[in-house]
Amino acid sequence: MKDYSSASLDEVALPTVMQALSDPGRIAILQALLENGELACNEIPLKVAKATVSHHFAILREAGLLQTRTSGTKCLSSIPMDAVESHFPGLLALVKNSGMGTI
């Protein structure tokens, strides 16, 4: 389908990561992935158009917070847990424990 490229966290500064996490929809995406491990775009309940969802996934990839692999017509995304945890320890715990109501 497409060869997805994520940013390496070595090259991502904190403001970029924070910017990526400043959208409630993207927080919801990460929370869903923390729960389920690996999900396709359409398996995450966001009330926005699919073009917007695709955009949010791209932002997260560019921040190094998402890795995506293709599988048939789907693209399955997950969080590179070890890399995120080593570069930004505690960040995922903050995301996980953030209750935000429904998006």
Partner DNA sequence: TTGATAGTTCGATATCACTCGAACAATAAA
Partner DNA sequence: TTTATTGTTCGAGTGATATCGAACTATCAA
Task: Describe the chain by its helix, strand, coil percentages, rounded to 5.
Answer: 50, 15, 35
Q: Which residues, other chains included, contact 33 with Cβ-Cβ below 8 Å and sequence gap of 6+? A: 39, 66, 77, 78, 79
CB nearer to DNA: give 48 or 86. 48
CB nearer to its own copies: give 21 or 75. 21
Residue whose tokens read 């073009």: 51
Any contact of residue 13 with its own copies (CB under 8 A)?
A: yes
Near its own copies by CB under 8 A: residue from 2, 45, 49, 89? 89
Near DNA by CB under 7 A: residue from 7, 23, 38, 91? 23
> Which one of its own copies, DNA, none is in contact with 83 (Cβ closer than 5 to 8 A by kind)?
none
Distance between CA atoms of residues 100 and 103, nearest Å? 8
Distance between CA atoms of residues 46 and 86, nearest Å? 29
Window contacting its own copies (CB under 8 A); options: 40-48, 54-62, 75-83, 88-96: 88-96
Any contact of residue 7 with its own copies (CB under 8 A)?
A: no
Distance between CA atoms of residues 30 and 2, nearest Å? 21
Near its own copies by CB under 8 A: residue from 34, 38, 83, 88? 88
